[in-house]
Amino acid sequence: MSNNKNVDDAGAETKQIIWEDEHVGIFLELLDIELAKIRYTKRRERICKEFLEKTDIHLSWEPFKSKYNILRNMYGLYKWLKYFTGVSADNNTAVCTQGHEHVLDMAENLVLTTAQYLILPYSPRSNGGGLLPVPVKLLPLCPLGISQSSVTALPGLPVGFSYPYPLMDTYVNEGQAVNIEFRSEAWPGCEEFSKYWEVDESSSALEEPAILTGGKKRERNSWFRIEREEKFVGGNAYKLTTLAGTIGTVPGPWENAPQLVLTNDTAKTFLVKFHKVHGDTTSTSRLEKLGCSHSTSQQAKNHMSNNKNVDDAGAGADDGCGTYN
């Protein structure tokens, strides 16, 4: 313990402190007690007084404030590491765990960073189809947001998954931070923005901020996690989350097609499943070979139009893209 002394506001001598584990434990215990009380008047003074009684060390509030900020920052770093790596520690045993499960697609195969997938609504009763880049407001149009197609049969554009930092693993793991990027040459505009997803953190963002394109691979607001919901009959249901909440849907500006937002309202959670469309991200996807990219891009340009192909008999024609419900 250092012998250096300071004088607090009341004129009493205070010491510098080297924080031992015992001191940290006592401080946090006293802080918990004070925070649990209904009346907070003079809580700082009480902590200082009771700390003196327990340790015989007289401190002003400043060392406690500094230590609290350090601990808070350490916890923030722990949350960041837990989010990025999936490693966590048990609060009771302090045992570190890394319980990664691999994400599975609709065929029960592992989701890979080297493949392309359609993100589809899990429920066949969803109000929309696959995901498309569309404007979230009239002005400015860019960057584009992400909405479900208003045509439930339209599968949307494929995406790819990658890790923010180089990893050897080609499997996409549950609970580990990944980037999500549209992987299609068909694009409705705003080419100056990337195709990476991000959470809107602009000053104009709403209480439930939109999920946008234009993200940056190593920015935290471009990091998403895939978390499994309970296993439903007929497949695996997943939700997308971030450090700040869960990805859900709200009625969007174009024909009320469901728009992706960040929310803490569990009733709005967007449950999804993954349909593999191609195993090589450098090749043209099966949907693009069938001409589906043109139809999805055109629909985005037309702000989620409900137009359908019609044959000579006036019936809806199958464009070969298929339905993935």
Q: What is the 3-state secondary structure (H, E, C) of 234-261?
A: CECCEEEECCCCEEEEEECCCCCCEEEE
**3-class secondary structure, 310:** strand
- Min mean pLDDT across 47-51, 74-78, 120-124, 295-299 is at 295-299
Q: Is the peptide bond before 251 cis (omega within 30 degrees of 0)?
A: no
User: Which string of b and e fits 155-169 if b means at least 16 CB within 10 Å?
Assistant: bbbbbbbbbbeeeee
Reported as a pLDDT band with limits 50, 70 and 90, residue 303 is very low
Per-chain mean pLDDT for the chain: 77
Cα Rg for the chain, rounded, in angstroms?
A: 26
CA dihedral 206, 209, 210, 215 (to 10 degrees): 120
User: Which string of b and e fits 9-22 if b means at least 16 CB within 10 Å?
Assistant: eeeeebbebeeeee
The better pLDDT of the pair 142, 38 is held by 142
Neighbours of 305 (CB within 10 A): 15
Reported as a pLDDT band with limits 50, 70 and 90, residue 290 is very low
The reported pLDDT for the residue numbered 46 is: 84
Reported as a pLDDT band with limits 50, 70 and 90, residue 205 is confident
The reported pLDDT for the residue numbered 166 is: 82
CA 265 to CA 271: how far, in whole Å?
A: 13
Residue 317 clears pLDDT 60, i.e. is over it: no
CA 218 to CA 163: how far, in whole Å?
A: 9
Reported as a pLDDT band with limits 50, 70 and 90, residue 39 is low
Task: Check if the beta carbon of residue 258 is closer than 8 Å to that of residue 244.
Answer: no
Residue 311 clears pLDDT 70, i.e. is over it: no
Q: Averaged over 103-132, what is the pLDDT?
A: 91
Residue 70 backbone phi and psi in degrees, to 5: -65, -45
Q: Averaging pLDDT over each range in 5-9, 62-66, 242-246, 292-296, which range is the top one?
A: 242-246
The reported pLDDT for the residue numbered 282 is: 43
Q: Where in the chain is the domain with CATH 2.80.10.50?
A: 116-301
Reported as a pLDDT band with limits 50, 70 and 90, residue 86 is low
Q: Averaged over 136-149, what is the pLDDT?
A: 88
Q: Averaged over 142-167, what is the pLDDT?
A: 90
In the beta sheet, which residues pair with residue 241? 225, 246
The better pLDDT of the pair 131, 29 is held by 131
The reported pLDDT for the residue numbered 295 is: 42
Share of the chain above pLDDT 70, in %: 69
CA 274 to CA 278: how far, in whole Å?
A: 12
- Min mean pLDDT across 20-29, 111-120, 310-319 is at 310-319
- Report the interhelical angle of 21-36 vs 61-85 (nearest 10°): 90
pTM of the model: 0.61
Task: Check if the beta carbon of residue 47 is closer than 8 Å to that of residue 54.
Answer: no
Reported as a pLDDT band with limits 50, 70 and 90, residue 202 is confident
Q: Averaged over 219-238, what is the pLDDT?
A: 82
The better pLDDT of the pair 150, 204 is held by 150
- Min mean pLDDT across 119-133, 181-195, 292-306 is at 292-306
Handedness of CA 44, 49, 53, 58 (dihedral sign): positive
Residue 93 clears pLDDT 70, i.e. is over it: no
**Beta-carbon contacts of residue 205 (< 8 Å; ≥ 6 apart):** none
Quick one: which of 247, 280, 132, 108 has its CA closest to 195? 132
The reported pLDDT for the residue numbered 3 is: 44
31-38: long-range contacts, CB 8 A cutoff, minimum separation 24? 31/64, 31/68
Task: Check if the beta carbon of residue 166 is closer than 8 Å to that of residue 124.
Answer: no
Reported as a pLDDT band with limits 50, 70 and 90, residue 37 is low
**3-class secondary structure, 267:** helix
Domain 116-301 CATH class label: mainly beta
The better pLDDT of the pair 251, 319 is held by 251
Neighbours of 106 (CB within 10 A): 17
Handedness of CA 272, 273, 275, 281 (dihedral sign): positive
Q: Averaged over 209-217, what is the pLDDT?
A: 95
Q: Averaged over 113-141, what is the pLDDT?
A: 89
